[in-house]
Structure 1
Amino acid sequence: MGKMWTFENPPVEYLKETYQLTTDKAWFEKAQLAALRFSTYCSASFVSADGLVMTNHHCARESGTAVQKKDEDFSAHGFYATKLGDERKVPELFVDQLVRIEDITARVQDIEKQGADDYEKLTLRDQGLENIVKEYGEKPEWKGLEIQAVTLYSGGKFSLYGFRRYNDVRLVFMPELDLGFFGGDPDNFTYPRYNLDVSFFRVYDDAGKPLKTTHYFKFNPDGAKENEPVFVIGNPGTTGRLQTIEELEMERDYKLPYLIQVLENRKAVLEAYNEKAKSDSIANEVFSFENSVKSFSGQLKGMRDPYLMARKRAFENDFKTKVRNDAKLSAEYSIWDQISESVKVLRGAQHELMLFQTNPLFRGEMLTLAQQLVDYAAISKTNPQRAATLKEMLRAFTPKSMEIESGYLAAHLEEALSLLGPTDIYLRYALDEKSPDEAAEWMLSQSKLKDSTYVQKLIDGGETALEASEDPFIQLALIAQPRYMKSVFAARDAYMKLELLQGRLGRLIFDAYGTAIPPDATMSLRISDGVVKPVEYNGTKAPANTTYYGLYDRFLSHKGTYPWSLPEKWKNPPAELLREPVNFISTNDIVGGNSGSPLVNSKLEAVGLAFDGNMESLTGYFIFAPDTGNRTVSVHTGGIVAALKYIYKTKRLTEELLAR
């Protein structure tokens, strides 16, 4: 179940037993206050007394390029502020520091109990959490903080987190894309790795001066030795380790295969389009799809591994035995049967839910627009508030590239064909003995939905105008809508029941195992322990750390072609750089969201910067299994200092990191 420990239940005894490490309140307080959440999507940390912040290049890329001036290209040349006045404020960027935590579980559970049915319980719970957040916002000790209600153990526990938000964040340093993204998608989720995935920012106070802080991770360029304990402090995004076997099997059999197919098909469409367009935004979207395909494929491979699933089943059986044999807990033993009933309902609704969802990624913009028009007509009288919002979206619709649209639509029809078969009425109408490619071209040539006047006519005419329309997208949407709504209503009740059951199951896990099992990741601050440790792969052994020698070997072996290309300033390195470490691996437990998390030693010194996991880590969504090779991949602090010293000549930044 992993090692994503919460700060409200720090693993004091566990760390003492496992590493002979004595920790106290001050140790965890420093770890908590030196760690940061970078905007809403990454992690970061303070690494100097003057508000210097370290995170990943891939977390900083968008923020950094947002402040480049005309004729500047940070992707090609990087950025370094040689003096304090050159540091550039990034609009709308913020970092959050967790300063207060309070358990509100009992209060939320009392509110939930007042509901007469599943829907009312969830509604009361959500409203109750909103009210508690508002209430605490008026308390003197919480006033001025960003307050968030955090769900733990799938709803078995609830905490209130108070963050101090810093809005004046300025770019200090970021390397070129060639270094920050060295190896690109081919090297993504692999190890050995050679990647300078680091950037630095600085937080300024309300007076416009660098923030003075006593809570930061002092930089240790020596890093950590093999088998030395290290700790990742960051915000892991999402895991599903507390799900039952049946829930995981549903993801394995339905959701993941379909999602992977969709992403691979859309990636192919964008790649074909971008051969001519040469758009950076499209290229970034392609990488995002590639990253997701690798990630979801790794999860799926793990769920198809009988050994890993047997381990999950063994835990579930042990858990059931504990509940059955405990006089207080045994009354909840039927929870597994109740979860099973909900999962069966959801399995039956999956195909329609996946295929007919109103999402342009899955169905293309035109078919999504048609579905929204049908939806608007159906709710215009029963739900005027939602209808008004939808109406504005419909009026604002502007189709993008018809080439991408045709590709997405053809891919959707191909996917529908594989799930529903050619005799399904949806496919009989859409294809009419055409191939998916031919059908997509024909539908686009016949449709009037690109005409805003025609769309407005359909909005005004309601159901009558839709039924009279001969537009192929409208006709296909009319076929899909009743089937989609039927599956939505069936799934809605099942999902609500399942959400409540998961909360009860989470409470059971906590009651049965206590804090020995941490909750699933929820993008909330966690501390994960591990050790620096080599890994076996491809019949050989990968070292605990790589060096810049290896980076140049990758560059030369691939003849300097992208994504193993290097900027000019890197092509004649000093000998001192080559032997320096660049990346290393450890057995820490991380997932997406941990990007930018510091790795610290037992003295709370920064020894690394987490940026990825290896292929074996992708099963970490549902099981933590370091014995099968799961490793965290990090940038070595020594490698960061070496690059700053020998290549970038960042005297001011280097001396600040080394506290000189």
Structure 2
Amino acid sequence: MKRLLLLCTFLLSFIQMRADEGMWLMMLVKRLNGQDLQKKGLKLTAEEIYSVNQSSLKDAIVQFGGGCTAEMVSKEGLLFTNHHCGYGQIAALSTPEKDHLTNGFWAMKKSEELPAKGLSVRFLVRMDDVTQRINSKLNNAMSAKERRDIIEAESKLIQQENSENGKYVVTVRDFYNGNEFYYFVYQDYKDVRLVGTPPNSIGKFGGDTDNWEWPRHTGDFSVFRVYSDANGNPAEYSPNNVPLKPKHHLPVSLKPFKPGDFSMIVGYPGRTNRYMTSYGIDQLVNKDYPAWVEASKTAMDVMKWYMDKDQATKLNYASQYASVANYWKNRAGTIESVNKNGTIQDKQKVEEVYQQWAEKEANRELYGNVLSDMKDYYAQTSARGIERNYAAQMTRNAKYIPYAINLSSMFKSYMAESDAAKKAELKKTIASRISSMYEKFNPALEQQMLKAMVSLYAQKVPAAAYAPSLYTINPALLDDVAKNSIFATEASAMAFLNNPDAEKLSRDALLKIANNYATDSRQAADKYVELDDKFSVSNRLFFDGLRKSHPNKEFYPDANSTMRITFGKISTLPFRDDRNYHGVTNNFYTDLDGTVAKYKKGDEEFDLPQRLIDLNAKRDYGQYADPAGYLPVNFLSDHDITGGNSGSPIMNGNGELIGLAFDGNSEALSGDIVFEEEWQKTINVDARYVLWVIDKFAGAGHLVEEMTIVK
């Protein structure tokens, strides 16, 4: 009964929510009866949005590669996602001779589509609420470890009950800071092929300069196709596989829209921390993110120096550089936004109200010390937070450290194997792994990266948290350490595999550095286990108390890479004096004239294909022109999204695709922490521009013919 009352309270607040804030779980759409979204423009029923028993909107949306979103746009398995989501695969399929990243690529028939190695897409089959089931086995007297063990055991049972002997992937996730639990049933398809991509000068137009900024003029899309076996089941790549017949695909709309028109986005937002305390935000923007920004910029500088000198290196490191650069600008912008928007002060006001509630006699025992305990936690772990951010960029970008650890483990297993047949098979596996790891590896770049990142770590990490082993190293010697290592190159690693020597492995200086750092990291983590466990309890109780202390306020779960829907409308931003809008007078869209106006011949960020310029000069827009005569490129909406939503479909009230979400705006880069109602926008690439590039620019009109076009 108590649970039912809680659900009813939540439903009431959900119905009263603002249309633009909140990333809502799909199954909650079933509770939308009585909602005024229909009055705002939603034409679909709850069953048409999310259904387990029949095809629905959810069946057209997939998680793309684990970190983005994509949508099915034809009955032949065709999907759209962002260019920057497909960037790594496009780069991996490129060579200096066939540079698809720079020049674009379009398969004119299915046999020309390129298998994207290692890429998969994930369909949501269903989800359900298991909060009552799991919480009935928990209580507040338990230790954090006891609680984790019970949740893990129950989650394994739920996975077994719903996987159908491995047919489905089942995950159990906690929500609301560990107060509620839901499980998700997925089906993964692993044969995904590149169908088309615009050249980098369209797909990444504006580069780092325009990233997170408005106005934008970026054709941020790419096209892939999902394949299955003859029965529609997931299968590894095979030339005998056939295009998947999805349960649902999105019609693509050519109809114009205007500010105020209803729209919605479905996707897989990665991570938000909307309920983080002021203490956590202070640590984030004044300690953690500055470390991230500095370390990522150091890594970018190393990559850029080598990428500018060699086209093969530029292609091989393009995806890594783009990812680091994206978050470098995001983190720097978040620091600025939090300070400018007074986010910490706003959180402190919320906490004042919370504390007044917590100090009431009925609440004091359980909730009275929660905020003070959280404040103490951040004070005690501040240095560790800084170390984690420098370390994250070091281990991510200085590949020699993880390579040495991973390959040495494989080598030891190989040398320990006594069965001849198993040993031969293991050797093949390791050789394949080495080939994959070093396929697009520049040893000179990696040697410099190791030296630069270890040096920065040693200089900047507080003594209270640093790994001691890194302070005994002379960074000037790291070049020679890497050059002379077993792990220096593919050739040296393969040579060791062909003639393994345990003594030589144990003497390898690079491996010693990597292992010593790993040992230091484990020992440091052990120091914080008790603090982290206490914090997890405080964090859970904080949200529980926050919800109880604000009975009339709606609360939505933080994003955690599960499918969400967000409602909103086409929107505008105020014009800024420091921006050139290239003739646009209604600041919700940009057009191709504005794109061409930004053109700088030969510029890495603002170059354009001559064909695009010529087509625009002729006003050769075909059926994709707006009735006002322009060709739309990008537009704004007020949806609540975050990383992971890249590639998400933005749809009108009929569930028709009108664009692809690809970015946020610099004015609201604090959006992962707090929703800035006045400023937070989503930047989308217009579906009409996507189709124009495919059809008129690339001459791949057969792909448009495959889609369901709504005029």
Kept in 1, the 8 Å contact 2:93–2:100? The answer is no
Indicate whether 1:152 and 2:178 are aligned: no
Indicate whether 1:608 and 2:659 are aligned: yes
- Specify the alignment match of 2:25 in structure 1: 6
Kept in 2, the 8 Å contact 1:76–1:177? The answer is yes
Which whole-Å CA distance do the structure 1 matches of 2:244 and 2:515 have between them?
A: 55
Partner amino acid for 1:285? Q
- Specify the alignment match of 1:596 in structure 2: 647
Map residues 61-76 of structure 1 onto 2, 5 A cutoff: 61-64=87-90, 72-76=98-102
Aligned counterpart for 1:490 among listed residues 521, 527, 538: 527
- Specify the alignment match of 2:280 in structure 1: 247
Partner amino acid for 1:294? K
CA RMSD of aligned residues (A): 4.1
Kept in 2, the 8 Å contact 1:371–1:474? The answer is no
1:21-80 residue CA offsets vs partner (Å, 9 max, x unmatched): 576322322332222212311111122344332211222233346567995432233233
Which whole-Å CA distance do the structure 1 matches of 2:397 and 2:693 have between them?
A: 43
Indicate whether 1:532 and 2:575 are aligned: no
**SS of 1:224 mapped into structure 2:** coil
1:257-290 residue CA offsets vs partner (Å, 9 max, x unmatched): 1111111112112222334344122343322221
> Relative to structure 2, which stretch is displaced further, 336-345 or 632-641?
336-345
Which whole-Å CA distance do the structure 1 matches of 2:486 and 2:650 have between them?
A: 55
> Relative to structure 2, which stretch is displaced further, 259-268 or 219-228?
219-228
Indicate whether 1:334 and 2:384 are aligned: no
Aligned counterpart for 1:584 among listed residues 630, 635, 650: 635
1:161-184 residue CA offsets vs partner (Å, 9 max, x unmatched): 112333443433322222111111
Indicate whether 1:104 and 2:130 are aligned: yes
Aligned counterpart for 1:344 among listed residues 379, 391, 397: 379
Which whole-Å CA distance do the structure 1 matches of 2:594 and 2:479 have between them?
A: 51
Aligned counterpart for 1:291 among listed residues 319, 326, 338: 326
Residues 314 and 16 of structure 1: is their aligned pair in 2 closer, same or farther, counting only changes over 3 Å? farther
Kept in 1, the 8 Å contact 2:569–2:639? The answer is yes
- Specify the alignment match of 2:249 in structure 1: 216
Map residues 567-578 of structure 1 onto 2, 5 A cutoff: 567-573=609-615, 574-577=618-621
- Specify the alignment match of 1:641 in structure 2: 691
Residues 88 and 487 of structure 1: is their aligned pair in 2 closer, same or farther, counting only changes over 3 Å? closer
Kept in 2, the 8 Å contact 1:35–1:97? The answer is yes
Q: Shift of the alpha carbon at 1:416?
A: 3.1
Q: Shift of the alpha carbon at 1:237?
A: 0.6
Q: Shift of the alpha carbon at 1:252?
A: 2.1
Kept in 2, the 8 Å contact 1:223–1:638? The answer is no
Aligned counterpart for 2:294 among listed residues 254, 261, 276: 261
Normalised by the length of structure 1, the TM-score is 0.81
**SS of 2:124 mapped into structure 1:** strand
Kept in 2, the 8 Å contact 1:530–1:588? The answer is yes
Q: Shift of the alpha carbon at 1:635?
A: 0.8
Which whole-Å CA distance do the structure 1 matches of 2:562 and 2:369 have between them?
A: 31
- Specify the alignment match of 1:380 in structure 2: none
Partner amino acid for 2:352? N
Which whole-Å CA distance do the structure 2 matches of 1:155 and 1:426 have between them?
A: 35
Equivalenced residue count is: 620
Structure 2 regions of 5+ residues with no counterpart?
1-19, 51-55, 231-240, 409-429, 488-495, 582-586, 622-628
Which whole-Å CA distance do the structure 2 matches of 1:330 and 1:48 have between them?
A: 58
**SS of 2:276 mapped into structure 1:** coil
Indicate whether 1:34 and 2:87 are aligned: no
1:210-254 residue CA offsets vs partner (Å, 9 max, x unmatched): 444462321111243111121111010111111111122122232
Partner amino acid for 2:185? G
Structure 1 regions of 5+ residues with no counterpart?
374-391, 432-438
Kept in 1, the 8 Å contact 2:660–2:686? The answer is yes
Map residues 54-65 of structure 1 onto 2, 5 A cutoff: 54-64=80-90
Aligned counterpart for 1:273 among listed residues 296, 299, 306: 306
Which whole-Å CA distance do the structure 1 matches of 2:596 and 2:129 have between them?
A: 51
Residues 113 and 134 of structure 1: is their aligned pair in 2 closer, same or farther, counting only changes over 3 Å? farther
Residues 5 and 352 of structure 1: is their aligned pair in 2 closer, same or farther, counting only changes over 3 Å? closer
**SS of 2:636 mapped into structure 1:** strand
Aligned counterpart for 1:620 among listed residues 671, 677, 685: 671
- Specify the alignment match of 1:656 in structure 2: 706
Which whole-Å CA distance do the structure 2 matches of 1:223 and 1:334 have between them?
A: 55
1:102-129 residue CA offsets vs partner (Å, 9 max, x unmatched): 1112222344449952223223323432
Which whole-Å CA distance do the structure 2 matches of 1:217 and 1:451 have between them?
A: 51
**SS of 1:626 mapped into structure 2:** coil
Residues 117 and 53 of structure 1: is their aligned pair in 2 closer, same or farther, counting only changes over 3 Å? same
**SS of 2:683 mapped into structure 1:** strand
Aligned counterpart for 1:176 among listed residues 199, 202, 212: 199
Residues 24 and 125 of structure 1: is their aligned pair in 2 closer, same or farther, counting only changes over 3 Å? same
Which whole-Å CA distance do the structure 2 matches of 1:89 and 1:357 have between them?
A: 31
Partner amino acid for 1:347? S
Kept in 2, the 8 Å contact 1:47–1:53? The answer is yes
Kept in 1, the 8 Å contact 2:632–2:688? The answer is yes
Partner amino acid for 2:203? G
- Specify the alignment match of 1:19 in structure 2: 40
**SS of 1:612 mapped into structure 2:** strand
Which whole-Å CA distance do the structure 2 matches of 1:121 and 1:491 have between them?
A: 18
1:573-610 residue CA offsets vs partner (Å, 9 max, x unmatched): 13133821011011111111001100011111111111
- Specify the alignment match of 1:499 in structure 2: 536
Residues 183 and 122 of structure 1: is their aligned pair in 2 closer, same or farther, counting only changes over 3 Å? same
Residues 364 and 560 of structure 1: is their aligned pair in 2 closer, same or farther, counting only changes over 3 Å? closer
Partner amino acid for 1:48? S
Kept in 1, the 8 Å contact 2:337–2:668? The answer is no
- Specify the alignment match of 2:624 in structure 1: none
Aligned counterpart for 1:199 among listed residues 218, 222, 236: 222
Which whole-Å CA distance do the structure 2 matches of 1:233 and 1:636 have between them?
A: 16
Indicate whether 1:544 and 2:544 are aligned: no
- Specify the alignment match of 1:387 in structure 2: none
Map residues 188-587 of structure 1 onto 2, 5 A cutoff: 188-207=211-230, 208-213=241-246, 215-278=248-311, 279=313, 280-305=315-340, 307-321=342-356, 331-347=366-382, 349-350=384-385, 360-361=395-396, 365=400, 401=443, 404-420=446-462, 439-442=474-477, 444-445=479-480, 450=485, 456-457=502-503, 487-511=524-548, 512=550, 516-539=554-577, 543-555=587-599, 558-573=600-615, 574-577=618-621, 579-587=630-638
Normalised by the length of structure 2, the TM-score is 0.76
Kept in 2, the 8 Å contact 1:352–1:484? The answer is no
Which whole-Å CA distance do the structure 1 matches of 2:317 and 2:93 have between them?
A: 21
Residues 474 and 640 of structure 1: is their aligned pair in 2 closer, same or farther, counting only changes over 3 Å? closer
Which whole-Å CA distance do the structure 2 matches of 1:575 and 1:357 have between them?
A: 49
Which whole-Å CA distance do the structure 2 matches of 1:67 and 1:276 have between them?
A: 21
Aligned counterpart for 2:681 among listed residues 631, 634, 639: 631
Which whole-Å CA distance do the structure 2 matches of 1:425 and 1:200 have between them?
A: 44
Partner amino acid for 2:669? L
Partner amino acid for 2:348? R
Partner amino acid for 2:274? R
Partner amino acid for 2:286? D
Kept in 2, the 8 Å contact 1:218–1:657? The answer is yes
Residues 580 and 231 of structure 1: is their aligned pair in 2 closer, same or farther, counting only changes over 3 Å? same
Partner amino acid for 2:333? G
Which whole-Å CA distance do the structure 2 matches of 1:112 and 1:261 have between them?
A: 42
Partner amino acid for 1:25? A
**SS of 2:283 mapped into structure 1:** helix
- Specify the alignment match of 2:233 in structure 1: none
Kept in 2, the 8 Å contact 1:587–1:630? The answer is yes
**SS of 2:614 mapped into structure 1:** coil
Kept in 2, the 8 Å contact 1:147–1:161? The answer is yes
Residues 126 and 429 of structure 1: is their aligned pair in 2 closer, same or farther, counting only changes over 3 Å? closer
Kept in 2, the 8 Å contact 1:94–1:165? The answer is yes
Q: Shift of the alpha carbon at 1:308?
A: 2.2
Partner amino acid for 1:27? E
